[in-house]
Structure 1
Amino acid sequence: MNHPSFLKRTLLLLGLLLGAGQVLAETPPQEIRIGGPSLSTSGSNHWGWGLLGIAHSQGLFQEEFKNDAVSFKFVGLNTVPMVGEALASNQIDFAGQGDLISLIGRSAGLQTRYVLPVSKYANAYLAVAKDSPISSVAELKGKRVAYTRGTYVHLQVIRILAANGLTERDLRQVNLDMATANTALATGDVDAVFSGPDLLPLRDSGVARIVYTTRDGDLHATAQTGLIVREDFASRYPETTARVVKVLVRAARWASDEANREGIYGPWWSFRLQSAVAEDSAGRSWKQIASPLFDPFLIAQYKDTNRLAKELRLLRGKDFDVEQWMDRSFLDKALQDLDLQGYWPALDAEGRVIDGQGS
């Protein structure tokens, strides 16, 4: 055998393969579509919440893809179920979804991956009319109580009721969206409303009183939101998916700096919710709120939500492994690329900071 000749041919073949790899490098799609529940606002600079809202308001998606022929379409959908329908019908590639609705979609056979937590520790509030005699959750028995079924608030309500010895059957439940429920409370058509910090402006205007909030109680009663991607998109465009996740990790790093705390509230200015969001997050560092980690607390919350949803027959499809549905590979790459490994504190399953985690 002519060894020098063989070596030459081998090196030539390796060179061709490397060159082909560069030629075949992934080309992103011309348009990347990200959807979520509408915040009912005018103006293209305000869309999304949590890390999605921060990244959008700062133009981080466009900055990451400035050298690519890529445009972004940010889709606000009127109801939570419409977000799942948009994923299922290939109208969007990514979605910001609360824990319950994303689990319902996956159980129903929607092929997705959970690639990043984008909002953590969402609080629930219970509001009653300003002159109502109701002063606690326990006094809701037999009352007309409004909230939106099928959303993460729904699961929060179930957990809160259970902690107070009640179930949904003890209420006269009224299924209303957030805006309609708030109006119904003001007009006296319902006795109480469960929702998020959107109830705080009602209190501030003198229309309602807040008689309960998860801010004062168990962290397990809070809700989590994740970035969901269609399986076929992630499989076809793994590098693009990784870059989208990287954008949100950059947003998380910016939001984790307490010097930027006031700037975080910017995306909510036009919704008259800035002060509500500020109050809602008081007492908890944004380094915890903005953490993109798949820590034991997050995983335990999703597993428990999955268990509870099955018990309530909200999940009627096939069982699936929640941890396998969560794809951490994109976050791991982003943390390495941005040199942020060990930056955020991880919480254990009980919500306590794990010693030695974070800086």
Structure 2
Amino acid sequence: MKHRLIPALALVLGLAACSSGTGATQAGVSASGPGGAPKEIRIGYQLIPNGDLIVKDQRWLEEALPDTTITWTKFDSGGDVNTAMVAGSIDIGLAGSAPVTRGLSAPLDIPYKVPWIFDVIGENEALVARQAGSVQELKGKKVAAPFSSTAHYSLLAALQDAGLAEADVTVIDLEPPDIQAAWARGDIDAAYTWTPVLGELRKTGKVLVTSKDLAAKGKLTADLAVVRDQFATTYPEALRTWLAQQDRAVKLVRSDKQAAAAAVGRQLNLDPAEAAEQIDELVLLDGKEQAGPDYLGTPEQPGALAQNLRSTAEFLRSQNKLPSVPELTVFQQGLATEELRDAFAG
């Protein structure tokens, strides 16, 4: 979920390390196959218990696009997804609302749009401490989070809400797998991270605040899909197919929770019962719900997600994490409302 502000040169140099996808053209879009379908779709996914893992596990996209190679590349954070997008090595990816805010803002200005909300983050992302009963008690402690991620954003919001400045704690930049290792060694006192690593930390630590708690205070976060502008323009039918499979996954969660949990469990190497619990910590929305005013909205009336992203930018600017705050229209134009409408028309 999740996300890193990196100078453009470093982003481009990170291409080889950030994706195993192949076959990109100079413009960063895979060549056409029969009927105008892409020969390859390069997808950046994360280990988050939402519908994307169901689509991957069930191979629905491969079945729907038999003439297209689907390349799935795992990322540990949305910051790395932004890096891969800038480098041109993926076509569709998952990133949290904080990194997407950065991606749509200067200096990154990544040419991508949001066609889908994978989930609204709830209790699956939280601040866990080893020996602290409140956020205030973290003063002077070492706290880990993946920098520029939704978790990092939420950590800063939690500190501010508790009357602490970022400088009151030692914030350490670690990806979730490294957080788990550092926790096991006793190198950190607390961490803000997401499942499945969060589940391991909760076994021995105390949850101080969750992203659901922060959302109730106006600091909502979400895991968003981002699609390269050129891919969306060149392959609109393939994007509609991708959206249809994501919608299908959400409906499977609602109609057959056992099957959905089994699919997610296989991808996360979890028992289906535990996978089901983690799914329940997220809010999943189907296509029609996403086109509503509270989320992506329509081409005529962009939804509240645009304002949420701008509010995130304002907060990040107040924390000196962004040089400036874009106009609301930047975020409205960053929502792929036409593509969403076309996918679920009728």
TM range (shorter): 0.7 to 0.9
Q: Does 1:208 align with 2:225?
A: no
Structure 1 215/90 Cα, relative in aligned 2: closer, same or farther at 3 Å? closer
Q: Does 1:313 align with 2:316?
A: no
Q: Which of 162, 165, 177 is equivalent to 2:175?
A: 177
**Residues 207-356 of structure 1: matches in 2 within 5 Å?**
207-215=204-212, 218-219=215-216, 220-257=218-255, 259-260=256-257, 263-264=260-261, 266-269=263-266, 271-274=268-271, 276-282=274-280, 292-293=290-291, 295-296=293-294, 298-316=305-323, 319=326, 321-337=330-346
Q: Does 1:150 align with 2:148?
A: yes
8 Å CA contact retained: 1:144, 1:171: yes
Q: Any idea what the Cα deviations from partners look like across 1:87-127, whole Å, max 9, x if unmatched?
A: 12221111111111122122212111111111212433222
- Larger CA deviation: 70-79 vs 275-284: 275-284
User: Structure 1 stretches (4+) deviating beyond 6 angstroms?
Assistant: none
Name the CA distance, whole Å, in 2 between partners of 1:222 and 1:273.
Answer: 27
Structure 1 195/76 Cα, relative in aligned 2: closer, same or farther at 3 Å? same
Structure 1 152/216 Cα, relative in aligned 2: closer, same or farther at 3 Å? closer
Name the CA distance, whole Å, in 1 between partners of 2:136 and 2:116.
Answer: 36
Name the CA distance, whole Å, in 2 between partners of 1:273 and 1:211.
Answer: 25
Alignment match, 2:63: 63
Alignment match, 1:28: 37
TM-score normalised by the chain length of structure 2? 0.75
8 Å CA contact retained: 1:117, 1:293: no
Name the CA distance, whole Å, in 2 between partners of 1:229 and 1:315.
Answer: 22
Q: Any idea what the Cα deviations from partners look like across 1:58-90, whole Å, max 9, x if unmatched?
A: 222123223xx2121111135543322221222
User: 1:242: Cα distance to partner?
Assistant: 2.0
Q: Which of 75, 83, 86 is equivalent to 1:85?
A: 83
8 Å CA contact retained: 2:252, 2:260: no
Alignment match, 1:188: 186
SS for the counterpart of 2:265 is: helix
8 Å CA contact retained: 1:26, 1:239: no
User: 1:273: Cα distance to partner?
Assistant: 4.5
Structure 1 272/165 Cα, relative in aligned 2: closer, same or farther at 3 Å? farther
Q: CA RMSD in A?
A: 2.9
Structure 1 285/96 Cα, relative in aligned 2: closer, same or farther at 3 Å? closer
8 Å CA contact retained: 2:85, 2:228: yes
Q: Any idea what the Cα deviations from partners look like across 1:304-348, whole Å, max 9, x if unmatched?
A: 2122123333334783521111011222222225xxxxxxxxxxx
SS for the counterpart of 1:102 is: helix
Structure 1 64/178 Cα, relative in aligned 2: closer, same or farther at 3 Å? same
Name the CA distance, whole Å, in 2 between partners of 1:80 and 1:284.
Answer: 17
8 Å CA contact retained: 1:116, 1:328: no
Name the CA distance, whole Å, in 2 between partners of 1:245 and 1:127.
Answer: 34
